């Protein structure tokens, strides 16, 4: 059985994404790169802010989106589909970062699954 490996990222809507990124960097020492990648002892986690009008999280009422790192994205998505979950047909690849897919939980929250490179 495929299992999530950990938190792969946490994404926030923001009226001023650059300003919010600066606050986390300056006030908390979160040293993220241009993609929001922040390396920590337990593994990679992405911290990224998005424009407040983004559709990336699904519903505009969803203010954040949880991202889980997975070992095998295709196997995880197949497992979720087989279990009756609402899984997006879309898969995105970002060179040097990895592959992404999405599932919606029973409460309607869009969750991102990330198979890193």
Domain that holds residue 89: 4-116
Pairing of strands 98-104, 86-87: antiparallel
How many structural domains compose the chain? 1
Pairing of strands 98-104, 92-94: antiparallel
pLDDT band at 60 (very low <50, low <70, confident <90, very high): confident
89 pLDDT above the threshold of 90 = yes
pLDDT in the model for residue 27:
66
12-16, 39-43, 45-49: lowest mean pLDDT where?
Answer: 39-43
CATH number of the domain at 23, please.
3.10.180.10
12-16, 63-67, 111-115: lowest mean pLDDT where?
Answer: 12-16
Name residues whose C-beta falls within 8 Å of residue 98's C-beta, 6 or more positions apart in sequence: 114, 115, 116, 117
Half-sphere exposure of 21 (CA within 13 A, CB side): 18
User: To the nearest whole percent, how much of the chain has pLDDT over 90?
Assistant: 44
- Sequential DSSP letters for 29-71: -----TT-EEEETTEEEEEEEEETT--TTSSTT--EEEEEEES
37 pLDDT above the threshold of 70 = yes
Mean of pLDDT values over 28-32: 82
Residues 59, 13: Cα–Cα separation, whole Å: 12
pLDDT band at 101 (very low <50, low <70, confident <90, very high): very high
């Amino acid at each position: 059985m495929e299992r999530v490996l950990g938190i792969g990222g946490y994404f926030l809507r923001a009226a001023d994404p650059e300003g919010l990124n600066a606050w986390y960097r300056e006030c908390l020492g979160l040293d993220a790169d241009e993609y929001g990648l922040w390396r920590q002892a337990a593994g990679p986690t992405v911290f990224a802010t998005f424009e407040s009008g983004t559709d990336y999280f699904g519903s505009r009422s969803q203010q954040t989106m949880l991202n889980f790192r997975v070992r095998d994205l295709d196997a995880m998505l197949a497992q979720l589909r087989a279990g009756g979950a609402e899984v997006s047909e879309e898969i995105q690849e970002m060179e040097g970062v990895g592959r992404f897919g999405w599932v919606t939980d029973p409460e309607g929250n869009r969750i991102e699954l990330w198979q890193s490179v």
